[in-house]
Structures are given as structure tokens and as C-alpha cells.
Amino acid sequence: MSGPNILDAIGGAPETSTDHVVVATDVQKSFGRLHVIKGVSLTVAQREVVVVIGPSGSGKTTFIRCINHLEKIQGGRILVNGHLIGYREVNGKLVEDREQNIARQRQEIGMVFQRFNLFPHMTALDNIREAPIRVRGIPEAEATKTARALLARVGLEHKADVYPGQLSGGQQQRVAIARALAMKPALMLFDEPTSALDPEMIGEVLEVMKELAREGMTMIVVSHEMGFAREVADRVVMMDDGQIIEEGIPEHFFTSPTHERTKSFLSKIL
């Protein structure tokens, strides 16, 4: 289905100036009185694929939403490519950054949502080339070429002029992945990318993600797809109650999970 080397369409895997694409330290997040992220620290190296698992309400989705500042944080800090995300440091205190700066930082971070969130009033092609043209200022001809190449790599070249409403869930999610890649991000965040899909469509989306992982895209994936984790993850992180309680290589979670919560969680999803 997906041809080899998706990332060739955007000039190969992104090279970043720092070894660590993500450095999150002691991240704290509350919704009002509800403390949902309680001091999470996570470092993701270049080309690393990290899968975050955990029961619902464990804060895993909220945590990756903090990484591109869709959620404000109340403590700690998150650096992507060495840049503080969402905040400026003023006299040792974190102050929310200007909108334009946050927007610029987000250009480096691709995000794929559980519910795809394609723009329904635009064709698949326009969904993909909109941001490169309007945000990056790439000439339309070039952006169109890249968008078509990406569509072909995710196996949807024949759907360029189709609106999202006429695509299946799996197709929509593949377009959404192409849309995020078109910005040539240094990091891709996947927020439960297959959990809104019918079972028969999960495979086609995971195939694209596996291909990206093999090609060296740095990825953080919130997902319960342990088969995916086993195949391509460098590391699996288990979150519970707003904290990381266990992490290791995927095999560790299949053979010798240590934490009781991890064991009981895995027994439910495996």
C-alpha cells in the first residue's frame, strides 16, 4: 500500500541541531483543581519512537498535548529542539510566549489527532498544502508537488480532489498524517491515531506509521497498539495517575513488567 520512503517526499528524515528532540522536565498540569500531570519528565532522542500507554485518565493524551502547547502547563518545562515551548523565561519565571512565537514553534511539531480533524471544506490535497503555503510561505506549485507526493506515499494519490467526508476513517487519518508531514516537522505526535477507527482500517494507518518510524521520524505515539509498539517502538512508557510509572523496551512490557498497575493494565489490553 504505502510505497517505501514516505519521507523522501519531504526531503528525508528531519535533521535537528540537538540530539534530544524533546526534553520535558517535571511537567505539571492542572485543570482547575484537578491535578492531571504530576511531574512528568521524558527525553526523546532524535529518530527515537516512544509509545505512551496507560489507562484512560492517566494523563497521556494531556501530556502530549502539552508538548505542542495545546495545553498550558503550570510547572516544569518542555523543550523541543532546544527551544522552550509555549513560554519565555523572565527572571526565572515562565511567562506565556507571544502567539506568533508559539505558532512558529508548532510548525516543527506535527500532530495527528484521534478524530483526524481534517478540514471538511477543503479537498485532501488542499488539506495538505494549506499550511505549507499559508504558514511556511512555500510557492503553491512546490507545495502542491510535495502534497501530491505525500498523498501517493500514503497510498491516496487518486483521492487528491476528494473531500474528507467522502473518505473512510482510515483514509482520512492517512491524509491527516500527510498533512502534518507536509510541514516537515522535526517531531510527530500521535494522539491515539487508531482508536476512532473501525478494526479493518487500523492496519492501513499503522502501516504508514511503521514506515515513518523505520525511516527515522522522531515520534511520540499515544496508543494501545502493542503490536505496533513491539515492532517499531524504541521505548514504551507507562503512565498512570499523571505520572510515568514504568518505562523500557517493548519486550520488557511483554515479558517482565514490574509495576502492579502495569501488569493489570497489560492484562486487559493484550
Partner 1 sequence: MDLPILAAAAQPHFDLDFFLKFVFQPSPALIGGLAITIYVSIIAQLTGVILGVLSALAGMARNPILRGISGIYVWFFRGTPLLVQLFLVYFGTPYLLGVDLFPRDVVLGPIDLRGAVLAGIVALSINEGAYMSEIVRAGILSVEHGQTEAAKSLGMTYRLTMSRIVLPQALRVIIPPLGNEFNNMLKTTSLLSVIAVEEIFRVADAVNSATFKAFEAYFGVALYYLGLTTIWSLIQGIIERRLRVSTARTDDRQGILARLTGMRRQAPSRPGGGMR
Is 121 one of the binding residues for partner 1 (CB under 8 A)?
Answer: yes
Is 183 one of the binding residues for partner 1 (CB under 8 A)?
Answer: yes
Residue 146 belongs to what H/E stretch? helix 140-153
Provide the minimum distance between the beta carbon of 172 and partner 1 in the complex, in angstroms, as a whole number. Answer: 12
Amino acid at the residue 222: V
Is 195 one of the binding residues for partner 1 (CB under 8 A)?
Answer: no
Which of 37, 27, 58, 65 is CA-nearest to residue 262?
Answer: 58
Q: Are 78 and 62 in contact (CB under 8 A)?
A: no
Q: Which of 179, 184, 224, 235 binds partner 1 (CB under 8 A)?
A: 179
What contacts 217, CB < 8 A, 6 or more positions away?
7, 13, 14, 47, 49, 188
For 255, phi then psi, to 5°, come to -105, -45
For 139, phi then psi, to 5°, come to -55, 145
Q: Cβ closer to partner 1: 104 or 158?
A: 104
Is 111 one of the binding residues for partner 1 (CB under 8 A)?
Answer: yes
3-state secondary structure (DSSP) of residue 230: helix
Q: Cβ closer to partner 1: 62 or 262?
A: 62
Is 254 one of the binding residues for partner 1 (CB under 8 A)?
Answer: no
Q: Cβ closer to partner 1: 57 or 120?
A: 120
Q: Are 114 and 62 in contact (CB under 8 A)?
A: no
Is 207 one of the binding residues for partner 1 (CB under 8 A)?
Answer: no
Q: Contact letters (x/-) for partner 1, 54-73, by CB under 8 A? A: --------------x-x---
Provide the minimum distance between the beta carbon of 260 and partner 1 in the complex, in angstroms, as a whole number. Answer: 35
Q: Are 179 and 118 in contact (CB under 8 A)?
A: yes
Q: What are the Cα distances from residue 201, in Å, to 9, 95, 155, 254, 269?
A: 24, 43, 13, 25, 19
Is 130 one of the binding residues for partner 1 (CB under 8 A)?
Answer: yes
CA distance 16 to 31: 33
Q: Contact letters (x/-) for partner 1, 11-50, by CB under 8 A? A: ----------------------------------------
Residues contributing to the site for partner 1 (CB under 8 A): 68, 70, 99-100, 103-104, 106-107, 109-111, 113, 115, 117-121, 130-131, 134-136, 163, 165-166, 176, 179-180, 183
